[in-house]
């Protein structure tokens, strides 16, 4: 196959444009391969293989990068714990232990609290709103400015969609029922719950089920029907609450060591950008396709779905915004990110309120009647 045939058949237009222009710049002409350098990278994921939709995004990215580079750019993917523990992926990328990671920025709010806005915060944006803010609303530039302080180049790494509010052994009818409740809920969601009187527990994925089983915790959150079903919480706690207001559209990210990114030939950077966007979009598609089926199975097993009461929703939203206002006073970059996010959020809520949300509401009511 002639080189140009290969390029037009396999490489997307954006990558093709970049590769041909880089050839021209080097005066190589269109015939010689643009993939002159063999690159071997290691990617540390923060996630176990069992989370196939999330972990699978890294494998999909690696496969695509290899194909698009004609086998020259190889990324070997390692699940959490094989090279580094899941919560140390950012450190490993920062220090160059690995060239690349797949993680959630909100694990690293200890480094800077503003990182939470890249993943999403309580009462924040849905997946579509988050993508729009990041890609078109100025979010990505602000987040990159923050990650740049840590020697990290950002690429999008997927989204789970709106998560569920978790599994409760007893019904939670009002704010008063949350007082003293032992719940596994990490991050900012946990900070908000703490302000509402919840006894917040932080447990990693594998430790949740046994803790729930022996009554060490009364409730836990995880992701949504597809992932939650696999961990079997429904066997112990039958009350499944909605919505997961602390993660209305949890985004993941690919982190790349800045020096490694800078050293990559431009065409390889384009390939990574393209493959990361593809893997991101596909993760959400998988959740949107698999969650409804999993929810049907859970309902058939006797799971009861409840909505959080209005007093819980209002008190949680108030507590969440108190936290954002407090943090804004401490750090100028946090304040800048918060300001951009808050403005985008307000407009976006209004727009979705008269378009998609209004439509879903109407169709939902007609289905019930």
Q: How far is the CB of 233 from Ca ion (least distance, A)?
A: 12
With respect to Ca ion, which residue has the nearer C-beta, 106 or 338?
A: 106
Q: In the stretch 54-93, what mask flags binding to Ca ion with x, by CB under 5 A?
A: ----------------------------------------
With respect to Ca ion, which residue has the nearer C-beta, 229 or 247?
A: 247
Strands (E), the chain: 39-45, 73-78, 100-103, 152-159, 166-168, 182-184, 199-201, 219-220, 239-242, 251-257, 304-307
Identify the bridge partners of residue 155 per DSSP, sorted by sequence position: 254
By CB under 5 A, what part of segment 106-165 binds Ca ion?
163
With respect to Ca ion, which residue has the nearer C-beta, 63 or 230?
A: 230
Residue count at the site for Ca ion (CB under 5 A)? 3
Burial of 302 (0-12, 13-18, 19+ CB in 10 A): exposed
CA distance 264 to 98: 15
Q: How far is the CB of 171 from Ca ion (least distance, A)?
A: 21
190, 200 contact by CB (below 8 A): yes
CA distance 89 to 155: 15
Q: How far is the CB of 33 from Ca ion (least distance, A)?
A: 44
With respect to Ca ion, which residue has the nearer C-beta, 18 or 164?
A: 164
Q: In the stretch 155-194, what mask flags binding to Ca ion with x, by CB under 5 A?
A: --------x-------------------------------
Q: How far is the CB of 352 from Ca ion (least distance, A)?
A: 22
Q: How far is the CB of 59 from Ca ion (least distance, A)?
A: 22
Q: How far is the CB of 218 from Ca ion (least distance, A)?
A: 17
CA distance 140 to 291: 28
With respect to Ca ion, which residue has the nearer C-beta, 244 or 265?
A: 244
DSSP three-state, residue 199: strand
With respect to Ca ion, which residue has the nearer C-beta, 56 or 166?
A: 166
Q: In the stretch 210-249, what mask flags binding to Ca ion with x, by CB under 5 A?
A: -----------x-------------------------x--
With respect to Ca ion, which residue has the nearer C-beta, 229 or 270?
A: 229
By CB under 5 A, what part of segment 32-51 binds Ca ion?
none
Burial of 277 (0-12, 13-18, 19+ CB in 10 A): middle
DSSP category for residue 180: T
Q: How far is the CB of 189 from Ca ion (least distance, A)?
A: 7
Q: How far is the CB of 144 from Ca ion (least distance, A)?
A: 25
Q: How far is the CB of 244 from Ca ion (least distance, A)?
A: 6
DSSP category for residue 336: H
With respect to Ca ion, which residue has the nearer C-beta, 62 or 178?
A: 178
With respect to Ca ion, which residue has the nearer C-beta, 40 or 307?
A: 307
By CB under 5 A, what part of segment 245-284 binds Ca ion?
247
Please state the φ and ψ torsions of residue 49, each to the nearest 5 degrees.
Answer: -55, -35
Neighbours of 74 (CB within 10 A): 14
DSSP three-state, residue 47: coil
Q: Say if strands 73-78 and 39-45 run parallel, antiparallel, or are unpaired.
A: parallel
Determine if residue 181 is left, alpha or beta; phi over 0 gives left, psi from -120 to 50 gives alpha, anything else beta.
Answer: beta
Nearest to 279 by CA among 16, 22, 45: 45
Nearest to 108 by CA among 117, 100, 99: 117
Q: How far is the CB of 183 from Ca ion (least distance, A)?
A: 12
With respect to Ca ion, which residue has the nearer C-beta, 245 or 338?
A: 245
In the complex, the residues that contact Ca ion under the rule CB under 5 A are 163, 221, 247
């Amino acid at each position: 196959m002639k080189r140009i045939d290969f390029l037009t058949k396999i490489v997307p237009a954006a990558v093709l444009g970049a590769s041909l222009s880089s050839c021209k710049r080097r005066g190589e002409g269109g015939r010689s391969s643009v993939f002159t350098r063999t690159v071997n990278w290691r990617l540390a994921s923060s996630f176990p293989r069992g989370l196939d939709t999330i972990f699978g995004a890294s494998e999909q990215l690696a496969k695509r990068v290899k194909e698009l580079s004609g086998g020259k750019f190889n990324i070997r993917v390692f699940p959490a714990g094989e090279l580094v523990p899941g919560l140390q992926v950012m450190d490993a990328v920062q220090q160059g232990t690995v060239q690349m990671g797949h993680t959630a920025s909100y694990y690293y709010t200890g480094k800077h609290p503003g990182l939470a806005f890249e993943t999403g915060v309580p009462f924040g944006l849905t997946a579509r709103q988050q993508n729009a803010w990041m890609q078109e609303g100025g979010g990505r530039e602000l987040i990159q400015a923050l990650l740049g302080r840590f020697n990290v180049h950002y690429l999008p790494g997927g989204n789970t969609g709106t998560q569920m509010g978790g599994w409760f052994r007893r019904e939670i009818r009002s704010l008063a029922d949350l007082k003293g409740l032992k719940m596994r809920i990490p991050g900012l969601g946990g900070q908000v719950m703490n302000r509402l009187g919840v006894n917040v527990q932080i447990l990693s994925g594998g430790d949740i089920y046994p803790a729930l089983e022996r009554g060490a915790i009364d409730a836990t959150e995880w992701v949504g029907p597809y992932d939650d079903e696999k961990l079997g919480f429904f066997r112990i706690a039958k009350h499944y609450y909605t919505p997961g207001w602390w993660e209305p559209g949890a985004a993941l990210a690919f982190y790349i060591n800045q020096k490694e990114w800078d050293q990559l030939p431009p065409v390889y950077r384009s390939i990574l950008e393209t493959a990361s966007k593809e893997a991101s979009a596909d993760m959400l598609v998988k959740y949107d396709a698999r969650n409804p089926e999993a929810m049907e199975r859970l309902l058939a097993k006797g799971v009861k779905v409840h909505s959080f009461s209005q007093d819980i929703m209002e008190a949680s939203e108030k507590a969440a915004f108190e936290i954002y206002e407090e943090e804004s006073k401490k750090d100028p970059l946090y304040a800048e990110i918060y300001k951009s996010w808050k403005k985008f959020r307000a407009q976006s809520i209004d727009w979705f309120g008269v378009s998609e949300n209004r439509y879903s509401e109407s169709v939902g009511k007609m289905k019930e009647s």
